[in-house]
């Protein structure tokens, strides 16, 4: 193979590596703020950049958070509150002011959707429901008039599965008759503006109403006998697809079969009260991992094949001030200290989300503090992956990568492997010197051989 072919092969390999570790275009997360212990917006932005999450949904507008997301290439869904709806509906100038303050003021942060209100149609407030569409229309008109990136923002509203009167089997999906009038007009607006219908399907709640083992397997994407829709002759293998196709059927029965659907919320609590069946860490991990794998497969649903519906996981963090049962405060994928609640398969490339500060729960006796050891990359790990590990390690608190900068004692040899070795070991030493602190998603290993050389001293020892 000639030098040009070698060069092209290297470029292709690097592109494939970058592609495999990049954000998933269909995967988002909800950022709730009913809490008093949330990390700073800047810390959250740094965390999100280590994940495959490409979208974040806010329930309102948080200026500090929106600023922190500038430059991350993560798009936002922001919300106009239910209390904003009357003024937005009756005063086009109020819609323009809202857009100016909450969208145009942040030109460096991509905003993809404005959700007007939250679960308005299910509140039973006829007056507010009647103002929902005019508020959406006025915001849309203001965005178009503003031009630029604002003109491309979609305007929608979020609904729960309670808007459906029928969802089983999926082919029978239908909206509540008393909502049909409002929905007919709202969905017509969504289709005209190429905006999505936003829905919150929760297989967890379906299991709560039918806590049988076979239902749990169906809800968790685990092996099961499936459920036949006798009308469509489709056998559904998981509740998520069944719920989405019920919504798809309902939109079709309303006269809008081509309206796009976005999953605004879905998740599974990792703990709950004794009366909350299935709310535990094992099920939460199974649901999230299997859902993400299902989305990554791009298989879609039986009625929406070949494309993953944009899906926002609930939620990035627990919201400790939420009222209600324990489960309401237990959906967080990450703790406030930025460590993962469980391995949700969200980290990009070969990074770890954050240094572990507690031992795994597997009972593996090898997970004990290690002294006189150093953390180094495994043989065979390519430079593209090592660069990801290097960047991640140097970004962590307490890690000093000054020695591998130009002029530093460990700068030479100026190779990715040499620099990554220093940085990965630094992180291992400051994170606690436990075996799980030297993992980097299986790209590193502990050694008793001191990698120090010349004037380059690797921290280690007792």
Helix (H), strand (E) at residue 96: helix 92-99
Cβ atoms of 410 and 422 within 8 Å: the answer is yes
What's the confidence (pLDDT) of residue 6?
43
Q: What's the gap between Cα 265 and its chain centre?
A: 10
pLDDT for the residue numbered 371: 57
Q: How far apart are CA 10 and CA 446, in angstroms?
A: 29
User: What pLDDT shows up at residue 277?
Assistant: 94
C-alpha to C-alpha distance for 292 and 27, rounded to whole angstroms: 8
Omega before residue 169 within 30° of 0, cis: yes
DSSP 3-state assignment of 305? Answer: strand
Tokens 């008039």 -> residue: 145
What does each of the 462 residues of the chain score in pLDDT, given as a tens digit? 443 344 444 344 333 333 334 567 899 999 999 999 999 999 999 999 999 999 999 999 999 999 999 999 999 999 999 999 999 999 999 999 999 999 999 999 999 999 999 999 999 899 999 999 999 999 999 999 999 999 999 999 999 999 999 999 999 999 999 999 999 999 999 999 999 999 999 999 999 999 999 999 999 999 888 999 999 999 999 999 999 999 999 999 999 999 999 999 999 999 999 999 999 999 999 999 999 989 988 889 999 998 899 999 999 999 999 999 999 999 999 999 999 999 998 987 533 333 333 333 333 333 334 457 899 999 998 888 888 788 878 877 778 888 998 889 999 999 999 999 999 999 888 887 877 788 787 889 988 889 999 999 998 754
What is this structure's pTM? Answer: 0.73
Q: How far, CA to CA in Å, does 380 sit from each of 302, 303, 352, 384, 433?
A: 41, 43, 19, 12, 24
Backbone angles phi, psi at 145, to 5 degrees: -65, -35
User: What pLDDT score was predicted for residue 353?
Assistant: 35
- The pLDDT value recorded for residue 23 is 64
The pLDDT of residue 362 is 30
Q: Which residues pair with 155 in a beta bridge?
A: 114
Q: What's the pLDDT score for residue 436?
A: 75
Is residue 183 within 8 A of residue 189, CB to CB? The reply is no
List active site positions.
119, 265
């Amino acid at each position: 193979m000639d030098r040009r072919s070698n060069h092209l092969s290297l470029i292709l390999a690097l592109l494939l590596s970058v592609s495999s570790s990049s954000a998933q275009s269909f995967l988002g997360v909800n950022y709730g703020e009913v809490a008093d212990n949330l990390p700073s917006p800047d810390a959250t932005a740094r965390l999100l950049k280590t994940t495959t999450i490409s979208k974040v949904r806010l329930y309102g507008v948080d200026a500090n958070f929106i600023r922190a997301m500038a430059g991350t290439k993560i798009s936002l869904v922001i919300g106009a509150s239910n209390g904003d709806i009357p003024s937005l509906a009756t005063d086009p100038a109020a819609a323009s002011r809202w857009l100016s303050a909450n969208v145009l003021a942040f030109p460096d942060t991509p905003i993809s959707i404005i959700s007007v209100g939250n679960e308005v149609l299910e509140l039973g407030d006829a007056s507010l429901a009647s103002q929902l569409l005019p508020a959406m229309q006025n915001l849309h008109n203001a965005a178009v008039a503003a031009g630029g990136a604002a003109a491309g923002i979609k305007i929608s509203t979020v609904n729960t599965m309670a808007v459906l009167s029928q969802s089983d089997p999926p082919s029978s999906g239908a909206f509540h008759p008393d909502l049909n009038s409002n929905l007919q007009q709202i969905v017509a607006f969504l289709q005209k503006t190429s905006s999505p219908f936003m829905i919150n399907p929760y297989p967890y709640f379906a299991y709560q109403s039918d806590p049988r083992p076979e239902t749990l397997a169906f809800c968790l994407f685990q092996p099961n006998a499936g459920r036949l829709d006798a009308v469509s002759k489709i056998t559904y293998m998981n509740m998520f697809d069944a719920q989405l196709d019920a919504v798809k059927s309902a939109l079709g029965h309303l006269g809008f079969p081509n309206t796009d659907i976005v999953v605004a919320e879905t998740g599974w609590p990792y703990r709950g009260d004794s009366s909350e069946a299935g709310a535990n860490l094992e099920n939460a991990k199974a649901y999230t991992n299997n859902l993400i794998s299902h989305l990554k497969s791009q298989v879609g649903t039986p009625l929406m094949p070949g494309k993953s519906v944009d899906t926002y996981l609930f939620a990035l963090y627990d919201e400790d001030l939420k009222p209600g049962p324990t489960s309401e405060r237990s959906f967080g994928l990450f703790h406030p200290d930025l460590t993962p609640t469980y391995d949700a398969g969200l980290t990009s490339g070969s990074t770890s989300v954050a240094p572990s500060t507690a031992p795994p729960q597997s009972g593996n006796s090898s997970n004990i503090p290690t002294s006189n050891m150093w953390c180094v990359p495994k043989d065979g790990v390519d430079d593209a992956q090592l660069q990801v590990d290097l960047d991640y390690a140097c970004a962590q608190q307490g890690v000093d990568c000054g020695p591998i900068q130009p002029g530093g004692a460990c700068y030479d040899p100026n190779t990715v492997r040499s620099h990554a070795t220093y940085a990965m070991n630094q992180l291992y030493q400051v994170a606690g010197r436990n075996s799980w602190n030297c993992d980097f998603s299986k790209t590193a290993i502990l050694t008793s051989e001191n990698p120090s050389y010349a004037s380059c001293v690797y921290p280690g020892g007792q």
